[in-house]
Amino acid sequence: MRVLGIETSCDETGIAIYDEKDGLLNHQLYSQVKLHADYGGVVPELASRDHIRKIVPLIEKTLKEANCDKSSIDGIAFTSGPGLIGALLVGSTVARGLAYAWNKPVVGVHHMEGHLLAPMLEEEKADFPFVALLVSGGHSLLVEVKGIGQYQLLGESIDDAVGEAFDKTAKIMGLDYPGGPRLAKLAEQGTAGRFKFPRPMTDRPGLDFSFSGLKTFAANTLRDNGKDQQTLADIAYAFQEAAVDTLVIKCKRALKQTGHKRLVVAGGVSANTFLREKLAALMQAQQGQVYYPRLEFCTDNGAMIAYAGLQRLKAGQAGQDTEIKPRWPLTDLQAI
């Protein structure tokens, strides 16, 4: 089976073709970072309009570079949620229109299931069951995964997602959009130990997260210590260290609670080098293994949607979840 995947949940237009036997044939990604930079964040209406402009040319380019035409596509998958309602509508409309015109089955894919399964695009795949840490600008989730669609939510953020906290803290520090990667880069110049940030919600039982307080702590530290370049770097280091330590502590708890030895990490924040170093050390101590998607598939992309859609179509779920769902709990998905 060969599936065309379409991702338009936020500010990136991702198109890919995934073949069950031959793997990923081609993928294209257009990022709207420059479009939203002047506003310091994503403007939903502008995002939707840019998806409209880019999606059809990207589909045509993907088909051409994969040496495919409509007759060689067996199904279409698109992100039906969660995400920005206007952006989701663009992908949904195009996917369902192509499915009708080409007489192909279509299926809606949960955006976070796409991220969760993104490491399966690599040669070394995690066997079920495992614990998944899904960390991005919109989500911070710990999930026990026993199979595709067999998800038990272990913990989530009660306020800002970790990626959102990175971006907001970067904005407070005067860093350009997108702030998270810039803060991480600045942290490389920071001095360890100058500032000590709290590790929120690690002094109590449970696996939920809270990151909004770290943003406030960073703002207060900045106010009290000035904005020279070294101070900014030291604050960036302390913030990143606290956020990453919090994630690692919660992962350790989740692994102990479930008894699993495999950890899958995905989402935009999974590209953070400091996080990868800390989790590598954790899993070595746990005598377990951690799995990631390649860096280009940490952020939103069409390949993960094509792969997840393939699994759903093979399971006979064509025509399901084709209505957009801006809010959609991962645990609502049907097991395969």
Known binding residues for Fe cation: 111, 115, 300
Residue type, 135: V
- Binding residue ranges for substrate: 134-138, 167, 180, 272
CA–CA separation, 1 and 250 (whole Å) = 38
Q: For tokens 């025509």, what's the residue?
A: 319
Helical spans, DSSP H, in 66-203: 85-102, 111-117, 162-172, 179-187
Dihedral over Cα of 280, 285, 287, 288: its sign: negative
What do you get for the CA distance between the two ends of the chain, in Å?
17
Contact 234, 191 (CB under 8 A): yes
Which residue, 226, 229, 239, is CA-closest to 167?
A: 239
Which residue, 4, 9, 1, is CA-closest to 110?
A: 9
CA–CA separation, 136 and 162 (whole Å) = 7
Q: Peptide bond preceding 105: is omega within 30 degrees of 0, i.e. cis?
A: no
**How many other CB atoms are found less than 10 A from the CB of residue 296?**
11
Dihedral over Cα of 156, 157, 163, 166: its sign: negative
CA–CA separation, 117 and 199 (whole Å) = 29
| Residues 6+ positions from 281 with CB-CB distance below 8 Å | none
Q: For tokens 């509508």, what's the residue?
A: 89
- Binding residue ranges: 111, 115, 134-138, 167, 180, 272, 300
Cα-flanking dihedrals φ and ψ of residue 14, to 5°?
A: -120, 130
